[in-house]
Structure 1
Amino acid sequence: MVLYTHKKDLKNALDSFRGDEKIGFVPTMGALHKGHLSLVEKALDENDVVVVSIFVNPTQFNNAEDLKKYPRTLNEDCELLKSLNKNILVYAPEISDIYEDKVAAKNYDYGGLENEMEGKHRKGHFNGVGTILNSLFRIIEPDFAYLGEKDFQQLQIVKQLVEIEKLPVTIIGCPIVREENGLAMSSRNKRLSPQLFEEASIIYKILTEVRRHFKEKTLEELNQMVTERFLSTPNLNLEYFEIADEKTLKSASSKSEDAKYRAFVAVFAGDVRLIDNMPLN
């Protein structure tokens, strides 16, 4: 495993792989867990060389306190990656290496995808996501990039970003990896107390219940059921629950046999914000 902190050095190292060899890329903000490692393992299986970025991107945080508290564990992350494969290239730049003299996000029009769910509650978030990934894609020039479905809205938006910027990279979505209690793996889980970690397992249970009843209950009944479940769990505060079309991400007003639906949820466990989702049909 080789650690690079400057894009110039990374690009020079990758030049020797250009041509017939495939380059895989896994973008992360660090504090790596088994979910991240599953992405890296898939990338290793399907490519000749794999780059993992570790960068806490300031322009995608609309909450300064959340940015400050986001876990930073570079040394531990590098040891984890080294245990997978010693030939992984890690790019962990300083802010100035990415943004140079202006830390600002570019404005993107993702065709409305950015206005749903997370976009409603985290203004400017997806502009920051698009800005950093556009930069990383251009620095690394990967053939394939691997993102988890836990951030399903982000996954759809990154696919749109690639079309907007005409980037020659294929985006691969990978299944959610869960803790033993069902909680979706997230770097933010490290901030949960043992009690909240266990209580947050109800998020998965509620989503599973929604999927089980999706065919026979109306959308209104499902929304009411979810609201009631969270009201009975005082340490978890529901920010939003949506049943949305997977393609448009718009909240469903009725069911269509031709559409694929997914349930999306954002919950505060104490002051830790958790998101999750589940396909319904």
Structure 2
Amino acid sequence: METVSTIESLRRQVAAWRSGNERIAFVPTMGNLHVGHLELVKRAREQADRCVVSIFVNPMQFGEGEDFGSYPRTLEADREKLSSVDADLLFTPPVEVVYPPGKTEQTRVEVPGLSDILCGSSRAGHFVGVATVVCKLFNMVQPDLALFGEKDFQQLMVLRRMATDLCFPLEVIGVPTVREKDGLALSSRNGYLTPQERTQAPALYETLKLTSDALMSGERDYDSLEFRAQKRLVAAGFRPDYFTVRRAADLGLPEAGDRNLVILAAAYLGKARLIDNMTAFLPLMEA
């Protein structure tokens, strides 16, 4: 696996693959890779001839007081992991390559509606930072497909909308969340959990599952479901940011007759902010 840090070197290699009519997949990451990231690469290799992975800790998507400075940088370990799953090219651009004029002067990409709710409400500007950097990376790599984990469900929707609205000739593919045996969704920020918090953390997944079971059993009082879920999380030691039931298609509030739903949650446990979700396709109710 080759590692490059300039756009020129990246495009030179991609152009060589294109000349051989090879299909190119792209997996953007911020590094500190875990099994979930490696699953994205494995899926990419199944669907394309070549796989490009980027590692870039994007300063634009971190808010004031967030963990940009302390976010784990583990490049050598990440490189070894990517080699083990046969990634073809690792792109590791420095900040000045991604944002030549500087972060404050950078042209920005915004996806209205989807970007300012849920995580976008509590992390102002986060999804503008995500959409901007991924838009730039799409232009740099020019892949045929890009893969993202479904754990970041709202992010996946934002990026799909961006790719459609800006006419990118690529497919944005969601890959199911990879979990620990106790249900905890894999995340680079799980490393912030203390041993005690790690034993508490699966309560987030358990609460999602209980809410899904209630929906599948016919309960439709969404306010009550959300209140009970947040109460359960507090009892488990979390500080909930939100717990909500939404339409899976657009993250709007569900209405009578909506069947394709998603339950989304974000909650703090110690210094870690954990997010997770679970889809629920409701059965038809008997008349």
Within a 5 Å distance, the mapping from 1:83-162 to structure 2 comes to 83-85=84-86, 88-104=88-104, 106-162=107-163
- Aligned-partner Cα distance in 1 for 2:116–2:246: 13
**CA-to-partner distance for each residue in 1:34-71, whole Å, 9 max, x for gaps?**
11011000001111110000000000111344111211
Taking the aligned partners of 1:187 and 1:178, their CA distance within structure 2 comes to 12
Task: Give CA deviations for 1:247-271 in whole Å, capped at 9, x if unaligned.
Answer: 121233x4424x4110000010101
Distance 1:65 1:54, change over 3 A: same
Q: Aligned-pair distance for 1:6? A: 1.1
Seq. identity, %: 36
Alpha-carbon spacing, 1:90–1:187, altered in 2? closer, same or farther (3 Å): same
Q: Residue 223 of structure 1 corresponds to which residue in structure 2?
A: 226
Taking structure 1 as the reference length, what is the TM-score of the superposition?
0.94
1:237 aligned to 2:239? yes
Superposed displacement of residue 76, structure 1? 0.3
Question: What is the alpha-carbon distance in structure 2 between the residues aligned to residue 172 and residue 69 of structure 1?
Answer: 30
CA distance in 1, matches of 2:92, 2:257: 45
Q: Does structure 2 retain, via aligned residues, the 8 Å contact 1:106–1:127?
A: no
Structure 1: runs of 5 or more not aligned? none
Q: Distance in 2 between matches of 1:244 and 1:40?
A: 29
CA 1:7–1:64: 2 relative to 1, 3 Å: farther
| CA shift digits 1:166-202 (9 cap, x unpaired) | 1111101110101111111000011111211120110
RMSD over aligned Cα atoms: 1.4
| Deviating more after overlay: 214-223 vs 68-77 | 214-223
Conservation of the 8 A alpha-carbon contact between 2:25 and 2:145: yes
Cα deviation digits, residues 178-232 of structure 1 (max 9, x gap): 1111111000011111211120110000000001001432212211210220221
* More moved, 218-227 vs 34-43: 218-227
Structure 2 stretches of 5 or more lacking a match? 282-287
- Which residue matches 2:10? 10
Count how many residue pairs are aligned between Structure 1 and Structure 2. 277
* Structure 2 CA distance for aligned equivalents of residues 255 and 83 of structure 1: 48
> Following superposition, which runs of at least 4 residues in structure 1 exceed 3 angstroms of deviation?
104-109
- Where do 1:241-256 residues align within 5 Å? 241-252=243-254, 254-256=255-257
CA distance in 1, matches of 2:120, 2:195: 30
Question: Equivalent residues in 2 for 1:45-84 (5 A)?
Answer: 45-84=46-85
- Helix, strand or coil at the partner of 2:27: strand
Is 1:271 aligned to residue 284 of structure 2? no
2:181 counterpart of 1:180: yes
Give distance in 2, aligned partners of 1:131 and 1:199.
35
Contact 1:116–1:250 (CA<8 Å) still a contact in 2?
no
1:37 corresponds to: 38
**What is the rounded CA distance, in whole Å, between the counterparts of 1:111 and 1:99 in structure 2?**
22
